[in-house]
Structure 1
Amino acid sequence: MKYNFDEVVNRVNTDSLKWDGIEERLGVKEKGLLPMWVADMDFKTPQPIRDAIHKKIEHGILGYAGGYDQYYQAIVRWMKKKHQWDIQKEWIVFGGNVVSTLSRIIRTFTNPGDKIMIQSPVFATFFYVIQDNGRQVVNNPLKFNGETYEMDFDDLEKKLDEEVKLMILCSPHNPVGRVWNQEELIRLGELCIKNNTIIVSDEIHAEIVFSGNKHTSFATISETFSENSIICTSPHKAFNMAGLEISNTIIPNNQLRESFKRVLACDGINKPNLLGIAALQAAYTECEEWLNQMVGYCEENYQFLCKYLKENIPEVQAIKMEGTYLVWLNFNGLNLDNHILAEGLIKDGKLLLSQGHSFGEGGDGFVRMNIACPKATLQEALYRLNRTLIPTKGS
């Protein structure tokens, strides 16, 4: 079946954070904005997922969830088929969204004042969830080689010591679009194991990988790596169902898993979202072809964007993209400071993108654009971008 990703769906006045929550979340009051910031898609959620939710609702009783055998089986089969990872259902710990999971992981395995490592520029919430829990951020900035990003292992080795209790790995990486290869993950993992640092791998974008690249789940590399890892997963990004707040943390190490489950129990977390259960099962059992076509469509969008920039705005560079649907754009060729860039895009372009400086060190002069949208929407965004930058290019 051929899916129609060209359909433009009006999301205004649908309680959408991306379209309706701009002023509430960002304080931006500008009208007529085209929002390409929040990491959800402007494609309809796959029909089997919507059908599964309708079936639950039509049953008429939305009570407490229970009896999770099919739920666990769907996750186990998906991890085996999609990621060549044989997991046991006992390793799966469900939760709300990945951010709340990260907060609980931090409270489980660290104490106030402990150090946690990240690699900027990275999903801004990593900074907040560490600092808001009273822990210290240790940054191992990624190196930009002019085309893509690499891990700085020399800097990592200098900063990684036994005081760094956790390392939060973004894999695939948001926003720089890297899909880390096995060699990179092995080198990273060996350093962490040497220093007794637990790897927390946020793999929420694992299914969105462009042709020629392969996602490797950190825990699949070796038994030693598996025992020293906590893998955060969710169907949110791959199947456009973030509003259902369903995620699963896979923890092979029994001691780590039991410690984490005690913190969940203290927070009153003992069952998943009823509608989320139905949605996940449908996603992992009936929607793989939809996923494959969606990823292909986003890759075509990326190629279209690169061609447009080269022909019309060569001063703006699209960073080489291996995965996710979030393009990292380099505006440094225009020599604009962050405030002028952001204000120009919003005031003149009526275009809302995620500002690069919010992703930490290495983000100045960059913006993140969400291209999981119909091509017509992307074309309009690029037209607005070009129109906004014409005075700048001519000065």
Structure 2
Amino acid sequence: MNEFTKVHSRKNTRSVKWDAIQSVFQSDDVLPMWVADMDFRAPEAVNEALIKRAEHGIYGYTTIDDDVNSSVMNWLRKRHNWEIQKEWLSYSPGVVPSIQMAIQACSKPGDGILIQTPVYTPFYRAVEVLNRKLIKNPLIYDNHTYSIDFEDFEKKLQQDVKIFVLCSPHNPIGRVWKRDELTEIARLCLKYNVLIISDEIHCDLIYPGNKHIPIASLSDAISQQTITCMAPSKTFNLAGLQASYIVIKNKSIRKKVTDAFEKQGFHMINTMGNIAMEVAYKEGEPWLEQLISVITKHKEYVISELESKTSLRVVQPEGTYLLWIDCSSLQLKTDELQRFMVEQAKVGLNAGLAYGEEGMQFMRLNIACPMDTLQEGIQRIIRAVNTNK
């Protein structure tokens, strides 16, 4: 039995995914398949490095050194063919704080912030709490796949938009944007002088036949107008260690963002996150390749089971370990759909409405768990759907 098939109990570890199900779903007998973290142990090299550091027993202030910077730079070069310089890097506790800080630093209250919906819930929250104006470019859903409405995108850019927040790969729909799509996004943002904040946290979780392209790598012009937010957290299941980084080539924009972090008292990442990031990027690639093989089989299993045995349809993912499930055939209202999954299927999924009104008939499923867990969850859904006919 390898680490990707072994079922580890995460209960009583203060896990949001496993220990908060009563408060989130008002039930304690659902199988949690929601929060975007994995039920797999991190790479053993990371665990060993953390244990060794803990044995030292002193947890003082920690600095980012050239070893950490080099691990990030080498990873981006090898995995994404993106050459960056050390000076372009800064560090943060997480991608969400980075996005909020970048919006705060590079816009003012009332400015338009463009997002492509349905999209990761904190995008909405960032715009709201910072008193910016939310502008949406809904993605086109057709034949169980999504595309960008570029005509609408250009119209929206003209509505006093200062920042476009790109989700690449896209959460929750699982699209990995193609070069021509990214090139057109870049062309239009340059045309209307709109800054891009690109959330690329899922960039390493790409299914065979697809390739992630950092939008800032397309040209010097777009790299000067892009803030890229990345982290090893989704890739290696390190989210709780709170370590991420920001890549900004433009010196003046970089200063605005780093100054904003300074004003909030963010000067460093924590000791364990620092170590985990370096070791994961230096030694975690074989583990990642095995993970991608595992989740590829998992998504194929889910699609085959749900589409052959129920009326549910899965948006074919190109990246991420999250599946976006079209439940419209059940003909349930949004609140009824959520109750159905909790009360009848006994599974805890993310409600599609959380990602915008365009997700009202969808549910988001996390497949980054052992196959035994995944099979149990999917069979619960199949039984509930077929009982409900």
What TM-score do you get using the length of structure 2 for normalisation?
0.98
1:100 Cα deviation (Å)? 1.0
Residue 362 of structure 1 aligns to a residue whose secondary structure is helix
Q: Superposition pairs for residues 74-85 of structure 1, below 5 Å?
A: 74-85=71-82
1:383 Cα deviation (Å)? 1.2
Q: Superposition pairs for residues 67-78 of structure 1, below 5 Å?
A: 67-78=64-75
Q: Which amino acid aligns with 2:265?
A: G
Q: Which amino acid aligns with 1:238?
A: T
1:23 Cα deviation (Å)? 3.9
Q: 2:239 aligns with which of 231, 238, 242?
A: 242
Q: Distance in 2 between matches of 1:247 and 1:310?
A: 37
Q: 1:355 aligned to 2:361? A: no
Q: 1:319 aligns with which of 315, 323, 326?
A: 315
Q: 1:7 aligned to 2:32? A: no
Q: Which amino acid aligns with 2:355?
A: F
Q: 1:374 aligned to 2:360? A: no
Q: Distance in 2 between matches of 1:389 and 1:232?
A: 39
1:381 Cα deviation (Å)? 0.4
Residue 158 of structure 1 aligns to a residue whose secondary structure is helix
RMSD: 1.1
Any idea what the Cα deviations from partners look like across 1:148-176, whole Å, max 9, x if unmatched?
10011011111112610100000000000
Any idea what the Cα deviations from partners look like across 1:328-347, whole Å, max 9, x if unmatched?
00001121111111101111
Runs of 4+ in 1 over 4 A off after TM superposition: none
Any idea what the Cα deviations from partners look like across 1:195-227, whole Å, max 9, x if unmatched?
110011000000000000000000110000110
> Cα 1:9–1:343, aligned 2, differ >3 Å: closer, same or farther?
same
1:392 Cα deviation (Å)? 2.2
> Cα 1:35–1:223, aligned 2, differ >3 Å: closer, same or farther?
same
Residues 21 and 28 in structure 2, CA contact (< 8 A), matched pair in contact too:
no
Q: Which amino acid aligns with 2:214?
A: S
Residues 74 and 284 in structure 1, CA contact (< 8 A), matched pair in contact too:
yes
Residue 369 of structure 1 aligns to a residue whose secondary structure is strand
Q: Which residue of 2 is the match for residue 58 of structure 1? A: 55
Q: Distance in 1 between matches of 2:307 and 2:102?
A: 43
1:67 Cα deviation (Å)? 5.0
Any idea what the Cα deviations from partners look like across 1:255-296, whole Å, max 9, x if unmatched?
100111111110111112111111011100001010011011
> Cα 1:45–1:388, aligned 2, differ >3 Å: closer, same or farther?
same
Any idea what the Cα deviations from partners look like across 1:348-371, whole Å, max 9, x if unmatched?
221100011110131011000000
Q: Which residue of 2 is the match for residue 199 of structure 1? A: 196
Q: 1:181 aligns with which of 175, 178, 188?
A: 178
Q: Which amino acid aligns with 2:233?
A: H
Residues 202 and 231 in structure 1, CA contact (< 8 A), matched pair in contact too:
yes
Q: Distance in 1 between matches of 2:178 and 2:345?
A: 37
Q: Superposition pairs for residues 266-285 of structure 1, below 5 Å?
A: 266-285=263-282
Q: 1:122 aligns with which of 119, 123, 128?
A: 119
Q: Superposition pairs for residues 93-242 of structure 1, below 5 Å?
A: 93-161=90-158, 163-242=160-239
Q: Distance in 2 between matches of 1:230 and 1:293?
A: 30
Q: Superposition pairs for residues 286-305 of structure 1, below 5 Å?
A: 286-305=283-302
Residues 209 and 323 in structure 1, CA contact (< 8 A), matched pair in contact too:
yes
1:3 Cα deviation (Å)? 4.7
Unaligned runs of 5+ in 2: none
Residues 140 and 146 in structure 2, CA contact (< 8 A), matched pair in contact too:
yes
Any idea what the Cα deviations from partners look like across 1:97-150, whole Å, max 9, x if unmatched?
111111111110111111100000100110011111101110000001112100
Q: Distance in 2 between matches of 1:246 and 1:113?
A: 30
Q: Which amino acid aligns with 1:388?
A: A
Q: Distance in 2 between matches of 1:142 and 1:67?
A: 39
Q: Distance in 1 between matches of 2:32 and 2:64?
A: 40
How many residues end up aligned between the 2 structures?
Answer: 389
Q: 1:386 aligned to 2:382? A: yes
Q: Distance in 1 between matches of 2:64 and 2:39?
A: 33
Q: 1:335 aligned to 2:340? A: no
Q: Which amino acid aligns with 1:244?
A: L
Q: Which residue of 2 is the match for residue 255 of structure 1? A: 252
Q: Which amino acid aligns with 1:391?
A: T
Q: Distance in 2 between matches of 1:343 and 1:93?
A: 43
> Cα 1:67–1:146, aligned 2, differ >3 Å: closer, same or farther?
closer
Residues 3 and 293 in structure 1, CA contact (< 8 A), matched pair in contact too:
no
Q: Which amino acid aligns with 1:167?
A: F
1:390 Cα deviation (Å)? 2.1
Q: State the identity %.
A: 39
Residue 320 of structure 1 aligns to a residue whose secondary structure is coil
Q: Distance in 1 between matches of 2:27 and 2:229?
A: 36
Q: Which residue of 2 is the match for residue 21 of structure 1? A: 20
